[in-house]
Chains A and B, each alone.
Chain A
């Protein structure tokens, strides 16, 4: 986190620029006098980017083919679009391998979290050896789709 301490409640999360009214510093020490009507307050402009320093701003995730003949170290980068795994050439993660259904499973983003979901495949989708219909993914999860083994790798980068 940055050394500046902000009360996050003060900032609107919708506007990029947020204006905060800061009362002027009193020139005298001792108890703070009640504000006078004619005193003008100062306005501080802080960008949303500055406020959100230290908050996860980048998320990189990919599927890495593991020990699949013809697919050694193939990496499929994931983004906000869903990645569909299957034997059909129309799948963006095309896996022409035994026991893979035409459209087998998909990986998609929900609230900053990748999930994998089986798409009624014949032989099922497994995460770390457990057959799933759906599973929130975590770094280093092994997804098995027929003969294909795909490692889910995720890195969250703080700016």
Chain B
């Protein structure tokens, strides 16, 4: 799990970066085929963002690291929303089968008490052989109520995102003076329009304030502008719009995330070459890269 980090450093690890559905195979092995899961660590405290299929490998690593000492680890899962690609890995998260493990799960209160039912539902006998009630670990499912959630040493703030079918939540993870923003599954193209209504303007301001000056922004950049012609209303943002807004908000590092399933490693390499060169030579520079499975970044 890497060398010990300084107290005010968080380590961000990408376990799944693909959007919508997992895409195994030779053409996706560099950026990865697992669906969203990102862990943020400070010492033994983990903030886990989404539980797509990528959470499986994260679970293996946790089991290797903690084995019989899971009481040392604090595991906190924050769900952006409950679309399949963000919860499907949960039943394959090995620590759930270890007695004594506690996992706190946080999600939007917008589901009106349904969050637990949805998570339980995907482990219904018709879908999965082990029921949630049979898990050895203790799952504590909470719908977020407070604006700021404190999980020492992290402070987590969040906002609802309406530009996604069924809605989603974006999270700000703060440690010391560092701020990481995780804002996936949102169609900014439906908010940042040419002639915005007062409501859209309000949402624009809220978004920009949320990401302003972030040390890193992990964000939905699923489509190219060409692809968007056919994928409008699917709930995802185009890369040029995302990069433009992030730059205007002085984001330092932009990790493009929720990769479009048809995008091959070569496609993404080409996009990276284009955007990386363009924004690294800007003044001030912004480091744009495509998040990649198996990549851990100190912040």
Collect the chain A residues with CB atoms within 8 Å of residue B4's CB. 120
The residue on B at minimum CB distance from A119 is: B3
The residue on A at minimum CB distance from B60 is: A111
Does A132 lie within 8 Å of B289, measured CB to CB?
no
Does B3 lie within 8 Å of A133, measured CB to CB?
yes
Q: Mark B215-246, 1 if CB is under 8 A from A, else 0.
A: 00000000000000000000000000000000
The residue on A at minimum CB distance from B255 is: A130
B206 an interface residue at 8 Å Cβ cutoff? no
Does B298 lie within 8 Å of A133, measured CB to CB?
yes
B interface, size bucket: 20 to 34
**B2 in complex: contacting residue of A128, A129, A131, A134, CB < 8 Å:** A134
A117 an interface residue at 8 Å Cβ cutoff? yes
The residue on A at minimum CB distance from B265 is: A138
**B289 in complex: contacting residue of A120, A124, A128, CB < 8 Å:** A128
Collect the chain A residues with CB atoms within 8 Å of residue B13's CB. 134
Distance in Å: Cβ of B16 to nearest Cβ of chain A: 13
A118 an interface residue at 8 Å Cβ cutoff? yes
Does A134 lie within 8 Å of B296, measured CB to CB?
yes
Does A129 lie within 8 Å of B294, measured CB to CB?
no
Does A133 lie within 8 Å of B5, measured CB to CB?
yes
B295 an interface residue at 8 Å Cβ cutoff? yes
The residue on A at minimum CB distance from B11 is: A133
Q: Mark B16-41, 1 if CB is under 8 A from A, else 0.
A: 00000000000001100000000000
**B298 in complex: contacting residue of A127, A131, A136, A138, CB < 8 Å:** A131
Tally of chain A residues near chain B (CB < 8 A): 18
The residue on A at minimum CB distance from B272 is: A128
B297 an interface residue at 8 Å Cβ cutoff? yes
The residue on A at minimum CB distance from B41 is: A133
Distance in Å: Cβ of A69 to nearest Cβ of chain B: 24
**B296 in complex: contacting residue of A113, A129, A133, A138, CB < 8 Å:** A133
Are A132 and B297 also in contact (CB < 8 A) when A118-B3, A119-B3, A120-B3 are? yes
B193 an interface residue at 8 Å Cβ cutoff? no
**B297 in complex: contacting residue of A115, A133, A136, A138, CB < 8 Å:** A133
Distance in Å: Cβ of A6 to nearest Cβ of chain B: 22
Q: How far is the CA of A119 from the CA of B294 in the complex (A)?
A: 17
Collect the chain A residues with CB atoms within 8 Å of residue B253's CB. 130
Does A132 lie within 8 Å of B296, measured CB to CB?
yes
Distance in Å: Cβ of B32 to nearest Cβ of chain A: 9
Collect the chain B residues with CB atoms within 8 Å of residue A119's CB. 3
Within 8 A of A (CB), among B241-299: 253, 265, 272, 276, 280, 287, 289, 292-298
Q: How far is the CA of A138 from the CA of B27 in the complex (A)?
A: 12
Does B295 lie within 8 Å of A129, measured CB to CB?
no
Q: 3 closest Cβ contacts across the A-B interface?
A: A136-B294, A134-B296, A138-B30
Supply 16 A–B pairs (Cβ within 8 Å), ascending by A. Answer: A115-B294, A118-B2, A118-B3, A129-B280, A130-B253, A130-B287, A131-B298, A133-B2, A133-B5, A133-B298, A134-B296, A135-B294, A135-B295, A136-B293, A136-B294, A138-B265
Report A's interface with B, CB cutoff 8 A: 113, 115, 117-120, 124, 127-136, 138
**15 extra A-B contacts, CB within 8 A, seeds A117-B3, A130-B295, A138-B29:** A118-B2, A118-B3, A118-B298, A120-B3, A120-B4, A127-B295, A128-B289, A129-B280, A130-B253, A130-B297, A131-B298, A133-B3, A133-B297, A133-B298, A135-B292
